[in-house]
Each structure stands twice: as structure tokens, then as C-alpha cells.
Structure 1
Amino acid sequence: MTDQPPGTTTKRSSRPPNDMRQGFIATDNRRSAAYRDSQMAILITFLLGIGNFALHRAVMDSRHPLLGRVPWFYHHLGGHFSLAVEFLMLLATLLFAAQSIVWAPICYVVYSMLNSFSAWLILSGRV
């Protein structure tokens, strides 16, 4: 089956061929880039969450007449129920971002933009 005389062995290198090593390096670079992107998404999401909490609190403290027309569960636990929902949305987004799932932070950015716009409308008295 082999062209070698019996009892002889070939010396094998423990290093993979050059083209395989390049593949390992490229994979490592992609992993580190994905890790960096994941960290950036977590940081941006966290900062947006701080802003959303601040806006949420400002709207709740404004005593705007529109807040009296929201459903009963909004006022459950002294208004802290809505803050708990806000926290759960932020937590879920951070967990998705930690797993490098891109759509969750993008959705949270869109949510934050809509939240900022609605808070601006309420706090400036345009609504």
C-alpha cells in the first residue's frame, strides 16, 4: 500500500501547512473583531439605557395630564412597574448583544429614538 520499505516511518511535522495557519490567524482576527463589536454594542446599549431611564423618570415626574389616561398597570407599584419593564427590555438587549446578536441592539436604538421623541413632545408641552 505504501512505497516505503517495511519498518521505516515518515517524519511528520507538528505544524500545519502554511495555508492552514493563515486560516487560523484569519479566524482569530474575525473572533477578536466580533468580540470588539460585541463590547461596543454593549456599551452603546448601556448608555442608551441610562438615557431611557432618565427620560422615563422625567416624564413620570412631569405630572402630564396624558399620564392619567394610561392603563391601570402603568400605575401599579407606584409607577415602578413601567421602570421594571424598561429594565427588563434593557437586560434582554444587553444579553443579546453579549451573544453577538446584532438585531437586538439595533431595535433598542430605534426604541430609544422613539422614546426620546415622545419624551421631548411630552416635556416640551407639544402634546
Structure 2
Amino acid sequence: MINANLGKDQFSAYLTLMLPIILMFFLGIANFAMHKAVMESGHPAIQSTRVAFDRATGGWGGYALEYTILLAAMSFVNVGYMAALGAYLGYTCLNGVAAWILLKGRM
């Protein structure tokens, strides 16, 4: 919890520490949205793998995997390993390209 008596320097230091976590949170929202859009697109490549994957995981396996990746990346950033932020940003960009390819019918 933020103390109301934080000085300007303390608050900026706190914000500097929290900014990567906040950014990763929003990247996670984007990943979940792309995942849902692709899974509901009805693309033949997705439907063929979705049947087997849903049978094995009860339908929530993809979301559980996305959550695990996000949680691991946030944990690494929280302990100071900032390369995880770049890795997760790259992962989000690759997900975006893949979602665009599938949703626009380019594959």
C-alpha cells in the first residue's frame, strides 16, 4: 500500500519499480484477448488442434498456459530480471503477428 506521506523521490522510485509490472499486466490482457479471438475464430487449423487439446485439459488449458507464462514473467521482473519484460514483449508481438495471420485469413 502506498503511504500518503511518500516524498516525491520515494514516489518516483516506487513508480519506477512498478511500471514494468503494470506494463506486463496490460501485455497480458492483450495476450488473453488475442488468444480468445483466435480460439473463437473457427479457423480450421485451430479447430483441429483445439479438439484434442480441450479433451486433454478440459477446455481451459490454453488460458492456464497463458496465465502461467504471464505469472512467471511478472515474477522474474519483480525480482529484478528485466530481460523477462523484453522476452514477454517479444512473445506478445509474435502472438499478435500469429493472430493477425489467422484472423485475416492469410493462412
Q: Which category describes the TM-score, using the shorter chain as reference length?
A: 0.7 to 0.9
Distance 1:34 1:73 in 2: 48
User: After the TM superposition, which segments of 4 or more aligned residues of structure 1 sit over 6 Å from their partners?
Assistant: 31-34
Q: Which runs of 5+ in 2 are unaligned?
A: 1-9
Distance 1:42 1:90, change over 3 A: same
TM-score (norm 2): 0.78
One-letter amino acid matched to 2:103: L
Q: Provide Cα deviations, 1:36-92, integer angstroms capped at 9, x if missing partner.
A: 433111011000000000010010011110113437663233431011000000011
Equivalent residues, number: 97
Distance 1:73 1:50 in 2: 26
Whether the 8 Å contact between 1:59 and 1:122 is mirrored in structure 2 is yes
Partner of 2:79 in structure 1?
99
1:96 is displaced (CA, Å) by 1.2
Distance 1:78 1:124, change over 3 A: farther
1:99 is displaced (CA, Å) by 1.2
Partner of 1:57 in structure 2?
36
TM-score (norm 1): 0.67
Matched, 1:85 2:71: no
Which residues of 2 match residues 63-74 of structure 1 at below 5 A? 63-70=42-49, 74=53
Distance 1:97 1:33, change over 3 A: farther
Partner of 2:25 in structure 1?
46
Q: Which structure has the greater CA radius of gyration?
A: 1
Whether the 8 Å contact between 1:52 and 1:112 is mirrored in structure 2 is yes
Cα RMSD of the aligned pairs, angstroms, is 2.3
